[in-house]
Structure 1
Amino acid sequence: MTTYANYLPDEILLEVLVYIEAWDTRSRQATLARFCAVNRQWYDVAIRPLYDSPFLTGRAYDLFVRTICPSVLAHIKLSPLQNLIRVLDLSHIIHQGTKSTTARLLGRTKAGLQVFIAPQASFAVNCWASLSKCERLRVLDLSLVSECISFQSLAQTLRRLGLLEAIYLPRCTSSYEGLSMNVRWPPKLAHLSLSGKVNGKFLWDLLRQPDHFPPSLHSLSILHSPGLDHTGIRPLLQNLENSLTTVELRDLPNVKHGRLNSVLEWLPHLTSLTIALDYIDSRFGHMPADWTPASWPAARPLQSLTLVTSGQTSINPSRCFTAIDLYTLIDERYLGRLRYLNIAQSSEWENEHEGAEIGALEMLLVDDLDRENWEQRRWHYADINMDGRGDMAFDEWLKTGQGRRMGARLRMLKDR
């Protein structure tokens, strides 16, 4: 008879968990739950990653609430699992949750919570008090909240959350009045996402007081703001031009075709850009007419470019920014540092000439530009640790783990 070991060292179990962590969220959670059910030893090893970032939807959410909040009053019955939760993602919760339940969950998980994504319909005024006690919170995402929130309460809460690094403001707002003058942005804030009614006095206060932003702010998203046009976006970006390296601009129906062509000039240190094709045209980039190979060292610092669409219809087809225009900017090395190119399928670039332009772009970016930068040790390859790699060919470099991570790539984005 075949014999089986009824005991495995914790080190082996931890190696198995490392393998499971690479799976998608649902598969990982289901597997970890079965892992915990094997015996007490396996439970002790896997219970922390199981509750670290739970996937909550439908009946799983109800069971989660009963586990974390076995009693309405925390001092009557505590859950030993409540301090294990680092990420509380309620983005999949719509109608089965209540506002009091959300507040209760925040109160129970406050000791270890680092990321909170608010639900669409069950976040209200009674949640602020609990949220302000989550002093280890690093990411606050309110983008899905459908009800108008109290920005006075938001400003008071932000003063208590000194470790916040990213804030996503809600899309549905009647007004931001009262926030701009009273808010004290967290000292470690790195990313800010502006949505909703970003105009009027709120926008004016942002433009007038750029010094109120901490020096750590390097990433800005402006999206789902129907009242904001290029005349408001440009001065806001230029006020932060010395610090911004990552910018996202999409779903802005009031921005006309071609109005954001100069975004690379407004932000001289920009390394990552996500922008809708509706806002740029064939003049995007403004490559000088006298650009020559001698000018290549002055290439734009842009390393990542994501092109999406916002569904605008008032666009002149003859002036659209095309794959050929992008090919020219890369081929002339005006975007000589570009490594990561993401293109939404809704751009329909794949449909033009049976996708020949996309294939040509990929060959230029991956086979030509990245190879050239490696061989000449330019840009991101200039300071790489070359121990034992001085004579390594580019194809050999791509087979290494670091080479696969740093190598250029082009991706087509589905459902975008």
Structure 2
Amino acid sequence: MAQEEIRQSYTSLSEPPTRLKLSLCTNQYSPLHNITTAAMANKSRPKKVKAPYRKYVGGQGYITNNNTTTVTTINTDPTASTNTDIIYSGSMEEPEQADEQFLKNFAHSTLKDSNDIIETPQGLYYYDELNESIVHIEKSSLSNAKFNKLKRFIVNRNKDKNNQEMPRTADSTSSSEQLPIQEQQMTLPWEIQKMILQYSEVIEPSFLVVCKTWYHLCIPLLYYSPSLTSKNFNKFVDAIISNKKKKLGEFVQELDLSTILQSGKNSFVSKLLRRCSPGLTKFTAPQTSFGFAPLISLKACHQLKYLDLGLVSETVKLQELLAAIQNFKHLTHLSFPRSSIDCEGYREFVWPTNLKYLKLSGGITNEFVCETEWPKTIKTLEFSYCPQVDEHAIYIVLSKIGDNLTHLYFHYPMPALNEHSLDHVFRYCSNLITIQLMVDYCSKWCFSEYMLTPLLIPRPLTTIYLQSSGSLGIGAKIHPDDFTIALWEKRLPCLKSISVSSKLGWNATSDGVEDLVSALEEQDASLYVSY
């Protein structure tokens, strides 16, 4: 009788068109499943029994070391007993009613004690509490349609179970309170979360481990404008240069190396510029480690809008610099290096078309200043430590672009200028809004009626910075009464602020300063003392 039952089991398992196999990883034999052995030739021969040993295999779960194969077959017959083998005898093309019945029988018989199902690329997994085992539903053993139906059926079953277990209050009348807890929780769209992160003052590195989406949202913000010092510069270089696949340099848009002192190499700066070139818009060069190689790499940064080389102490040839930036269509701010000495090739140079701010410094010559075709788009012009530029060259520049300037700054020292060199600035620049003058190179005649001549429209000058080097005799060159008379005679009708260096030695309690303050208050202006 036992041999007849085994023969029938082999016959039922040998019909591939009418079977659906699910591999079950268990550590004990369950009475709910039919376990068949490979060979039973001689019943009288004693069987070799091996101790059960469970081993975890990635993607499969726990497996045993015996040679038996655990096979579970599922039947769509609703009258079949749950305590016997469940056999599914329908074909893959049967109607949807048979599929639904198959899913119900499978779920109620096998998953009745399961709480959760996990989806992986290898298939579905669930934990069978009755047998204390992990069950793997292989996707390859099911068609795509049946696999998706099975997944939807189990998810809906768990959702219905959660709805039944959710407690209800006695005074709950709104329909929203009857929804499951998962649906009551409000989730912000990713676009809103991105805007919130963009307005955050600080992006912490811990934000990257919240989830995968936050990682992709925070990485561009974290590398947008890194704060670099001599301590973390080498780590930053390793992160940008070593991780070529992540391409973290493409997220850097503002790179400030002004705080890097004696900790970088030309090769490091050159590689950084190449890695960050796709999105770099603002770059401040370091004091050292900016030689020929970084200058060549600078050519690849076509998106630059701000380029500050004012701190560079190494020798930079202006011809190479001008050749590197001539194709920068978006460049608006440019500061020359203070150590540049070679000005050859400036006649063939083409300035960037959108240049608005220019700071001249270093070894530029009078020929370069006088013969260069300055772009008409410049609105702000600065002179900072130009030892070879004299008074004649400055007024040549102002005669070409002086009417377009709105901001003009002079810094100390300018050795080629004398004590009255800047007295005629207002004759060439009638549209200035802000001006900074060095008392070392101007006098009280700068604010007289001969220089501040009447215009067709009120002079738009609003801010004056008066600086001094502190040399002997400089404080007596300009008196507060010179400004007071100019204000009373309406030469500066739009003036709102005067900032005076404390090195001029003006006494805050003197009559001249009090009269100046009264004149400024009449047109809602202020007087400041800078230290």
TM-score relative to the length of structure 2: 0.58
The answer to whether 1:337 aligns with 2:494 is: yes
The answer to whether 1:32 aligns with 2:203 is: yes
Does the CA contact (< 8 Å) of 2:319 and 2:346 recur in 1? no
In structure 1, what is the Cα distance between the partners aligned to 2:338 and 2:433?
Answer: 26
In structure 1, what is the Cα distance between the partners aligned to 2:268 and 2:515?
Answer: 53
**AA in 2 matched with 1:18:** Y
Q: Quick check: 355-364 or 166-175, which moved more?
A: 355-364
How big is the shift at 1:17? 5.7
Matches within 5 A, 1:140-155: 140-155=307-322
Does the CA contact (< 8 Å) of 1:158 and 1:184 recur in 2? no
The answer to whether 1:269 aligns with 2:450 is: no
In structure 2, what is the Cα distance between the partners aligned to 1:288 and 1:181?
Answer: 36
Residue deviations 1:96-121, cap 9 Å, x none? 01101001000001111111111111
- Classify the secondary structure of the residue corresponding to 2:203: helix
- 1:285 — aligned with what? 447
The answer to whether 1:229 aligns with 2:387 is: no
Q: Quick check: 42-51 or 258-267, which moved more?
A: 42-51
**AA in 1 matched with 2:304:** L
- Identical-pair percentage: 26
- Classify the secondary structure of the residue corresponding to 1:248: strand
- 1:368 — aligned with what? 522
How big is the shift at 1:181? 1.1
Structure 1 counterpart of 2:231, from 59, 64, 67: 59
- Classify the secondary structure of the residue corresponding to 1:274: strand
State the structure with more CA Rg.
2
The answer to whether 1:82 aligns with 2:249 is: yes
Residue deviations 1:79-130, cap 9 Å, x none? 4421221111111112001101001000001111111111111111111222
Does the CA contact (< 8 Å) of 1:133 and 1:160 recur in 2? no
Considering Cα pairs closer than 8 Å and 6+ residues apart, tell me whether 1 or 2 has the greater RCO. 1
**AA in 2 matched with 1:231:** H
Matches within 5 A, 1:43-58: 44-58=216-230
- 2:465 — aligned with what? 306
How big is the shift at 1:289? 11
Question: How many pairs align?
Answer: 344
In structure 2, what is the Cα distance between the partners aligned to 1:13 and 1:35?
Answer: 16
**AA in 1 matched with 2:468:** T
How big is the shift at 1:44? 4.9
- Classify the secondary structure of the residue corresponding to 1:242: helix
**AA in 1 matched with 2:222:** L
Structure 2 counterpart of 1:187, from 353, 365, 373: 353
How big is the shift at 1:156? 1.7
Residue deviations 1:165-213, cap 9 Å, x none? 121111112232x14212110111111111112324323423xxxxx32
Which runs of 5 or more structure 2 residues have no equivalent in the other structure? 1-184
Matches within 5 A, 1:32-181: 32-33=203-204, 36=207, 39-40=210-211, 44-70=216-242, 77-176=244-343, 178-181=344-347
In structure 2, what is the Cα distance between the partners aligned to 1:87 and 1:362?
Answer: 42
TM-score relative to the length of structure 1: 0.73
In structure 2, what is the Cα distance between the partners aligned to 1:197 and 1:269?
Answer: 29
In structure 1, what is the Cα distance between the partners aligned to 2:359 and 2:468?
Answer: 19
How big is the shift at 1:34? 5.5
How big is the shift at 1:326? 2.2
Does the CA contact (< 8 Å) of 2:366 and 2:393 recur in 1? no
In structure 2, what is the Cα distance between the partners aligned to 1:341 and 1:237?
Answer: 23
- Classify the secondary structure of the residue corresponding to 2:342: coil
Higher strand share: 2
In structure 1, what is the Cα distance between the partners aligned to 2:390 and 2:450?
Answer: 26
Structure 2 counterpart of 1:254, from 416, 429, 445: 416
Higher helix share: 1
In structure 1, what is the Cα distance between the partners aligned to 2:511 and 2:193?
Answer: 49
The answer to whether 1:18 aligns with 2:199 is: yes
Residue deviations 1:26-56, cap 9 Å, x none? xxxxx43366367346655544333222221
**AA in 2 matched with 1:259:** S
Relative to 1, partners in 2 of residues 1:327 and 1:311: Cα closer, same or farther, differing over 3 Å?
A: same
**AA in 2 matched with 1:369:** Q
Q: Quick check: 38-47 or 324-333, which moved more?
A: 38-47
Residue deviations 1:242-301, cap 9 Å, x none? 32222111111332223211211121222221221222222222225999xxx7975422
- 2:404 — aligned with what? 243
In structure 1, what is the Cα distance between the partners aligned to 2:265 and 2:514?
Answer: 50
In structure 2, what is the Cα distance between the partners aligned to 1:157 and 1:84?
Answer: 23
